[in-house]
């Protein structure tokens, strides 16, 4: 036992209850990032979203969260972490009410933006409070709870979404946040202590906040919109608030967005260095990256998030549209991830005692790569649900191990007085990863569907202009048209060719899903390399 451990008194019962309240609040916003996935095919059909709209419903939440977390982490340090946590809960519940009332793509995407603002106030407040209240050996246990909640809530989201959508309606995936948010708000008032950071430097870093938001937002926009409006030359009309990018322009708006992202993020780094030099308040303390554990831990966390959210975006579409499962059936299959994550999250500290936290992260990422690699090899257009679930259990085991131990390792060397900024930076990196996970999976799926669907239809003897139009409709609807044709049977416009077309579209969608899973696996492999460097740095 270290000197620090012996000098630190045990947390009180009130502080442990406060940790449970913070974990519940964190779980609420992490759950909201994944609960939408399994309900998405139903939402697409109900309020007529296209594939790009569907990606924005998932991604905008993560993009805004990523853009705001650095600023809100600084606010939490300055104005009080519990106060920001409670304000965030009020805004988050308000956004949930708006989302539940939505009847069009624009209003739903706007409501997700409001939810993201609330979530951005909640997330850094939870981790920085834990970092400030728990010390020594108790801190490692508290971080373990925080990491396990992230992986567990993210994995259980699809099951909760499936149950609420099937037995009530998709609106309830948002309405359920109202009573839960009220309970967490009261719990925070009773059990969570108010903490603040050290004396803040003068000034508010508004320019830094704007540059980071523009940079990250433009980057994710380019990845999501590229397949539809053209990576270089315009292939479709792009409109924003009544303004249109002309089809005869020499380049698409996508490379412009990439250029804006590069310039904004470069200026952001330069600006933050300037703020540090003149001793003014900055939303990102670049000196934190001087700790190797912080730098490599964040790289690893980003890659894990990309892989995780790529999987959570694409698998519900495959399970419901290609395999023909109902939303509850899809939720049960995806719950295999939660089963694995909960089992391994509980045992992670025992493994950490033997192999160390970085070693446990490494084992977890190895299991994630094996699970997704096996899934990509196994899936077909007729796979039974249990066969899809088996590799997901392996993946979930890895996710639980990696997430539970990664948090504490990343913040191990960060001073307490900047814990809000350190935790906000880590949360930002995770959210950027989750936004890119949805964006890369959606872009890969869209590009792959443009190739696999026409090829599958042609192989099944369904060809001609009508077949090309059907393939494009299936791509634009993220496969929802497959379920509609399956339900109509021979009464559809395709007549006795309907069954052959459904089978062909399902096979093509499965092939495209496989490509998305392989992209997720590549990022998890990059995370594994990052974890190797993290292990070396921690020594």
Instruction: Give me 449's structure tokens.
Output: 């569907």
Please give the pLDDT value at position 3.
42
Residue-level pLDDT, tens digit, the chain, 539 residues? 444 444 567 778 888 888 888 888 888 887 776 677 677 778 887 888 776 777 777 677 777 777 777 777 777 777 888 888 999 999 999 999 999 998 888 899 899 989 989 988 887 777 777 777 777 667 667 776 766 676 667 667 777 777 888 788 889 989 989 999 999 999 999 988 887 766 566 666 778 878 887 887 788 778 777 777 778 888 777 766 567 787 778 888 889 988 999 999 999 889 888 887 887 777 777 777 878 888 888 888 888 888 888 888 888 889 988 888 887 888 888 888 878 877 776 677 777 778 877 888 889 899 999 999 999 999 998 899 899 999 999 998 888 888 767 777 777 777 766 666 677 677 778 777 877 887 788 888 888 998 898 888 888 777 778 778 888 888 877 777 887 788 777 776 667 777 888 889 999 999 999 999 999 999 999 999 988 988 887 77
Cβ neighbours around 515 below 10 Å, total: 19
Distance CA 475, CA 179 (A): 38
Q: Please, are residues 265 and 284 in contact by the beta-carbon 8 Å criterion? A: no
DSSP state of 202: S
Instruction: Give me 533's structure tokens.
Output: 């460097």
Instruction: Give me 25's structure tokens.
Output: 């609040």
Please give the pLDDT value at position 420.
63
Give first-to-last CA distance, the chain, whole Å.
Answer: 18
Please give the pLDDT value at position 369.
94
Cβ neighbours around 278 below 10 Å, total: 10
Distance CA 316, CA 40 (A): 8
Task: For 395-447, give the DSSP string.
Answer: HHHHHHHHHHHHHHHHTTTS-GGGHHHHHHHHHHHHHHHHHHHHHHHHHHHHH
What value, to the nearest 5°, has the Cα angle with vertex 64 and ends 275 and 131? 65
Please give the pLDDT value at position 345.
65
Q: What Å distances lie between residue 268 and 205, 212, 513, CA to CA? A: 11, 6, 36
Instruction: Give me 445's structure tokens.
Output: 């799926």
Q: Please, are residues 173 and 31 in contact by the beta-carbon 8 Å criterion? A: no
């Amino acid at each position: 036992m270290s000197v620090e451990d012996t000098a630190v008194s045990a947390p009180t019962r009130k502080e442990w209850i406060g940790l449970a309240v913070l974990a519940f609040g964190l779980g609420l916003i992490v759950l909201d990032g994944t609960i939408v996935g399994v309900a998405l095919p139903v939402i697409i059909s109900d309020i007529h979203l296209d594939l790009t709209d569907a990606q924005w419903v998932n991604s905008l939440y993560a993009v805004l969260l990523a853009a705001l977390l650095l600023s809100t982490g600084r606010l939490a340090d300055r104005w009080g972490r519990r106060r920001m946590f409670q304000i965030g809960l009020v805004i988050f519940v308000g956004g949930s009410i708006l989302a539940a009332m939505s009847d069009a793509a624009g209003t739903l995407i706007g409501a997700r933006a409001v939810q993201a603002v609330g979530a951005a106030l909640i997330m850094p407040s939870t981790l920085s409070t834990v970092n400030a209240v728990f010390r020594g050996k108790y801190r490692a246990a508290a971080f373990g709870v925080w990491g396990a909640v992230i992986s567990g809530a993210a994995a259980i989201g699809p099951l909760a979404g499936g149950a609420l959508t099937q037995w009530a309606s998709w609106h309830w995936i948002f309405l359920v946040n109202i009573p839960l948010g009220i309970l967490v708000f009261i719990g925070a008032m009773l059990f969570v202590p108010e903490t603040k950071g050290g004396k803040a430097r003068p000034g508010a870093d508004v320019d830094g906040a704007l540059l980071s938001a523009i940079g990250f937002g433009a980057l994710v926009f380019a990845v999501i919109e590229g397949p539809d409006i053209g990576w270089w030359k315009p292939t479709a009309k792009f409109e924003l608030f009544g303004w249109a990018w002309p089809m005869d322009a020499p380049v698409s708006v996508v490379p412009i967005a990439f250029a804006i992202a590069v310039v904004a993020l470069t200026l952001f780094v330069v600006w933050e260095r300037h703020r540090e030099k003149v001793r003014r308040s900055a939303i990102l303390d670049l000196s934190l990256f001087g700790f190797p554990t912080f730098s490599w831990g964040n790289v690893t966390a980003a890659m894990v998030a990309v892989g995780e959210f790529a999987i959570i975006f694409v698998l519900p579409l495959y399970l419901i549209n290609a395999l023909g499962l109902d939303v509850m059936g899809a939720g049960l299959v995806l719950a295999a991830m939660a089963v694995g994550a909960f089992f391994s999250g509980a045992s992670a500290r025992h493994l950490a005692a033997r192999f160390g936290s970085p070693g446990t992260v490494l084992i977890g990422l190895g299991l994630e790569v094996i699970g997704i690699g096996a899934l990509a090899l196994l899936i077909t257009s007729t796979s039974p649900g249990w066969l899809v679930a088996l590799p997901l259990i392996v993946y979930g085991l890895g996710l639980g191990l990696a997430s539970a131990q990664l948090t504490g390792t990343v913040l191990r060397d960060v001073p307490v007085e900047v814990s809000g900024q350190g935790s906000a930076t880590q949360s930002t990196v995770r959210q950027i990863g989750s936004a890119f996970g949805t964006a890369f999976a959606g872009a890969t799926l869209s590009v792959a569907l443009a190739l696999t669907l026409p090829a599958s239809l042609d192989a099944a003897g369904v060809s001609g202009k009508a077949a090309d139009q059907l393939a494009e409709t299936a791509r634009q609807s993220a496969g929802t048209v497959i379920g509609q044709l399956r339900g109509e049977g021979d009464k559809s416009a395709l007549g006795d060719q309907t069954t052959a077309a459904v089978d062909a579209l399902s096979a093509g969608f499965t092939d495209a899903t496989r490509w998305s899973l392989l992209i997720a696996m590549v990022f998890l492999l990059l995370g594994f390399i990052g974890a190797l460097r993290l292990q070396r740095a921690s020594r």
